[in-house]
Amino acid sequence: MNDNQRPSLDPWLPLQERAACCEPRPLVRARGLTLRYGPTLAFDDVTLDVHAGCITALVGPSGCGKTSFLSCINRLTDLIPGARVSGELRLADLDLLDPRLDVIALRRRVGMVFQKPNPFPLSIRRNLDLPLREHGMRSRTRRADATERALRNVGLWDEVKDRLESPALALSGGQQQRLCIARALVLEPEILLMDEPCSALDPLAGGVVEDLIAGLRGRVTVLIVTHNLAQARRISDWAALFWKQEEAGRLVEHGAVRQIFETPTQELTAAYVRGRRG
């Protein structure tokens, strides 16, 4: 199969059934969360729940703090000199702001997919085998099983099963992105963070990846940043709008996707979803 043929995944849920389908059960809880990069306030005082098993879309204009919010959840902020996070942030029972947190263990619970596909410059198989080994899976058979399962989950298995030793970088852009999603899923994370995962792909390949994300509903919690409002509406259960106001990103509104798109409570949300602002 190539990018032009979409894998058959779980059926799409009509808009009115989304969010309602999954009971609000917070997996990530942010309370008064603020992130500063030195003197720059990336976002301020964000209180937001990300519900388990659901797809939550983070939307908003450039520079409003969406990527920064994701980077608090997997502690990529640790790698940015001058980044300071305050407030409260929890993943289930885990205090994500605790300086003693085992960040390696955390990254097993929190998967990340970036805008540009970034497979390791290794074989397709090694892209999945490596994280499994690093996280202590010693049995070769178990690693092979986990690899097959992850590749099946992203609709890639039939495309690559006969060339697992080929370089991952020889795959098409869309296939590379699905491999990166498989690499994140192979560790069975509780939450998958995705930062504009379709925007560097051509529309067909982006559509395949979008279908794949929609098919993850109920299996893993997904927090996806997207500039594509139609996509947010198509795939998410919950949506949150960030906006830069008074020199800092702020959460304007968060709710079930149908409410955000059809009956927003904030004028800014209404203007944004109708394409009049942002």
Ligand X SMILES: Nc1ncnc2c1ncn2[C@@H]1O[C@H](COP(=O)(O)OP(=O)(O)OP(=O)(O)O)[C@@H](O)[C@H]1O
39 touching ligand X, by CB under 6 A: no
Report the partner that residue 114 touches, choosing among Mg ion, ligand X, none (CB closer than 5 to 8 A by kind): none
Which of the ranges 52-60, 67-75, 229-237, 270-278 carries the binding residues for Mg ion, by CB under 5 A?
Answer: 67-75
Residue in this structure with the two tokens 């990254």, named with its chain if needed: 107
Do the Cβ atoms of 36 and 87 come closer than 8 Å? no
Q: Which residues fall within 8 angstroms of residue 54, CB to CB, at 6 or more apart? A: 19, 22, 217, 221, 222, 236, 237, 238
Closest CA to 146 of 117, 187, 105: 187
66 touching ligand X, by CB under 6 A: yes
62 touching ligand X, by CB under 6 A: yes
Considering only 3, 18, 50, 65, the residue that binds ligand X (CB under 6 A) is: 65
Per-residue CA distances from 228 to 6, 19, 180, 231 (Å): 20, 19, 21, 5
3-state class (DSSP) for residue 195: strand
Which of the ranges 51-59, 60-68, 94-102, 151-159 carries the binding residues for Mg ion, by CB under 5 A?
Answer: 60-68
Considering only 34, 56, 67, 175, the residue that binds ligand X (CB under 6 A) is: 67
CB of residue 63 to Mg ion, shortest distance in Å: 8
**Closer by beta carbon to Mg ion, 13 or else 57:** 57
> Rounded to an integer, what is the distance from CA 273 to the centroid of its chain?
21
**Amino acid making up residue 79:** L
Closest CA to 107 of 122, 125, 94: 94
269 touching Mg ion, by CB under 5 A: no
How far is 47 from 255, CA to CA, in rounded Å?
Answer: 12
Considering only 34, 67, 71, 231, the residue that binds Mg ion (CB under 5 A) is: 67
How far is 73 from 165, CA to CA, in rounded Å?
Answer: 33
Q: Among all residues, whose Cβ is closest to Mg ion?
A: 67
CB of residue 25 to ligand X, shortest distance in Å: 26
- Chain residues 68-97 in contact with ligand X, contact rule CB under 6 A: 68, 80
197 touching ligand X, by CB under 6 A: no
Which of the ranges 41-49, 62-70, 143-151, 205-213 carries the binding residues for Mg ion, by CB under 5 A?
Answer: 62-70
How far is 167 from 123, CA to CA, in rounded Å?
Answer: 4
63 touching ligand X, by CB under 6 A: yes
Per-residue CA distances from 20 to 9, 42, 82, 153, 260 (Å): 21, 32, 40, 25, 14
42 touching ligand X, by CB under 6 A: yes
Report the partner that residue 177 touches, choosing among ligand X, Mg ion, none (CB closer than 5 to 8 A by kind): none
CB of residue 46 to ligand X, shortest distance in Å: 12
Do the Cβ atoms of 238 and 211 come closer than 8 Å? no
CB of residue 175 to ligand X, shortest distance in Å: 24
Binding site for ligand X (CB under 6 A): 37, 40, 42, 62-68, 80, 249
